[in-house]
């Protein structure tokens, strides 16, 4: 009987230890998402639409709130069209930086948020340099992180109803 009790207690503790989160899992997930964001920024710089879209979950699961109408984009194809329209307004590379991005990740879901600076040259030759706010949600499926929600915003002046694009952190 003593052997059975000892075996049961050992089995219980081994099961408990195996169910605890592994050290560094959150840090690994955060690093993977940072790599995803870096890959997106490189694709954005190169104006590579397929590279940009590679970080997003395909199909209808993706929901995005962008700074342009409509209020919501549903599905990767709708968001891809939005990105294409944005890219078409620029000539040459578009640079993106997010110096203080914060990433919070569990084993299967995560989000990032921060300020993002975009710079480039519009087709009319005007320089574009704006800071925007972003929040992005991710889901880990089959060992890979993909974005399932994007929220982009800019502050507005409540007196004029216009976007304020000249703010700097």
Instruction: Spell out the per-residue pLDDT of the chain, length 169, in tens.
Output: 555 444 454 454 444 444 445 446 878 999 999 999 999 999 999 999 999 999 999 999 999 999 889 999 999 999 999 999 999 999 999 999 999 999 999 999 999 999 999 999 999 999 999 999 999 999 999 999 999 999 999 999 999 999 998 999 9
pLDDT at res. 24: 61
Residue 145, domain member (yes or no): yes
Residue 78, domain member (yes or no): yes
Instruction: Give how many domains the chain has, as a whole number.
Output: 1
Domain that holds residue 156: 2-163
pLDDT at res. 133: 97
pLDDT at res. 102: 97
pLDDT at res. 1: 56
Residue 72, domain member (yes or no): yes
Residue 19, domain member (yes or no): yes
Residue 60, domain member (yes or no): yes
pLDDT at res. 19: 47
pLDDT at res. 27: 87
Element (DSSP H or E) covering residue 95: strand 90-97
CA separation for the pair 113, 57 (Å, rounded): 18
pLDDT at res. 23: 46
* Cβ atoms within 10 Å, residue 130: 17
CA separation for the pair 56, 84 (Å, rounded): 15
Half-sphere CA count of 143, side-chain side, radius 13 A: 0
pTM for the complete prediction?
0.81
Residue 41, domain member (yes or no): yes
Q: Is 152 exposed, middle or buried, given 0-12, 13-18 or 19+ CB atoms closer than 10 A? A: middle
Residue 169, domain member (yes or no): no
Q: What is the CA radius of gyration of the chain?
A: 21
Residue 15, domain member (yes or no): yes
Residue 44, strand partner residues: none
Q: Is 102 exposed, middle or buried, given 0-12, 13-18 or 19+ CB atoms closer than 10 A? A: exposed
CATH classification at residue 122 = 3.10.450.50
């Amino acid at each position: 009987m003593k052997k059975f009790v000892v075996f049961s207690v050992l089995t219980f503790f081994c099961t408990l230890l195996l169910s605890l989160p592994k050290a560094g899992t959150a840090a690994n997930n955060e690093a993977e998402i940072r790599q995803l964001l870096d890959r997106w920024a490189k694709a954005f710089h190169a104006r590579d639409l397929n590279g940009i879209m590679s970080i997003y979950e395909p199909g209808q699961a993706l929901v995005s709130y962008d700074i342009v109408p409509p209020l919501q984009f549903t599905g990767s194809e709708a968001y891809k069209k939005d990105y294409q329209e944005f890219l078409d307004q620029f000539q040459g590379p578009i640079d993106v930086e997010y110096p203080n991005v914060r990433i919070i990740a569990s084993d299967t879901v995560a989000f990032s948020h921060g300020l993002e600076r975009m710079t480039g040259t519009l087709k009319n030759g005007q320089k574009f340099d704006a800071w925007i706010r972003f929040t992005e949600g991710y889901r880990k499926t089959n060992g890979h992180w993909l974005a399932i929600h994007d929220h982009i915003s800019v502050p507005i002046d409540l007196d004029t109803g216009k976007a304020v694009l000249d703010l700097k952190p």
